[in-house]
Amino acid sequence: MPLVELTDLSDRRLRPYSGMTDGQLKRGEGFRRDNPQGLFIGESARVIERALDAGVRPMSLLVDERWLEHDRPIVERVQAEFPEATVFLATAEQHRELTGYEVVRGALACFERPAPSEVDDVLTGARRIAILEDITNYANMGAIFRSAAALGLDAVLITPACHDPYYRRCARVSMGAVFQVPWARIEGDRDWAPALVPLLHERGFTTVALALREDSIDLRDSRLAEAGRLAIVLGTEGEGLLDSTIGACDYTVRIPMHHGADSLNVAACAAIAFWELVR
């Protein structure tokens, strides 16, 4: 399909790029019949490429004419692999009016949200996984997924309150890693661990909660490195992990710190823990 130069910014097909929140896209408001799982927006070449690599289907592509040459490989790939997808070409003015973005980082793509994975599916064959509890900051969530991909985690589980990995800013911070690492959302309420940890034990996982407690063991403890299957549990920075989560896990683990520091950003903590426990 040839490039479609914009003439009418009220075109229904452009709505995902203009005025729809991530939540509205996820619910597929106005598009549910076309895309029963809902939609999401991918921003930047790397995110779009990794979504395409993962088999996620684009509904359309929006390219600012100033970025056309830079993003031409993506345009040609979408045209070749998904000829039913519309590739819109916008002037800088049209792009700004449509999206509200003052700074453009390349193409935007509207994707059909894939069917969610089940917890059992992502656990199959996994040896090292992360469990993220109530992490609502998109930058932290995206950075953790980026570290998980780079440092070799097999899967990520997220609790019901966690930020959605497919939301635009999270996927961008992750550099598209949310499409590389299998993940699933844990069903149920906030107090997830008493029900899920026994299932992990049945699957042979040792569970470790990263928390600063008197009974915490050192991250470099040999018992952790020797575990055949390991689940690394990380909580939100403000409150940390729930007491019920810590109580359900096999070990409470700390990262040794110096100069009076008593905590780390959760994304930094995740990267250190992944490096030490995955290798």
CATH class of the region 119-278:
alpha beta
- Return the CATH fold of 4-112: 60s Ribosomal Protein L30; Chain: A; (3.30.1330)
CB 156 within 8 A of CB 27: no
Where residue 1 falls among pLDDT bands split at 50, 70, 90? low
Q: Distance between alpha carbon 215 and the CA centroid of its chain, in Å?
A: 32
**Both tokens assigned to 241:** 């992990």
φ, ψ of residue 32 to 5 degrees: the values are -60, -40
Residue-wise pLDDT tens digits, 88-104:
999 999 999 999 887 77
Domain boundaries, the chain: 4-112, 119-278
Report the run of H or E that residue 5 belongs to, with start and end: strand 4-5
Residue-wise pLDDT tens digits, 180-214:
999 999 998 889 999 999 999 999 999 999 998 87
d(CA 208, CA 217): 10
**Both tokens assigned to 230:** 């390991």
Report the run of H or E that residue 76 belongs to, with start and end: helix 72-81
d(CA 199, CA 180): 25
What's the mean pLDDT in 250-258? 89
Strand pairing category for 58-64 and 108-112: antiparallel
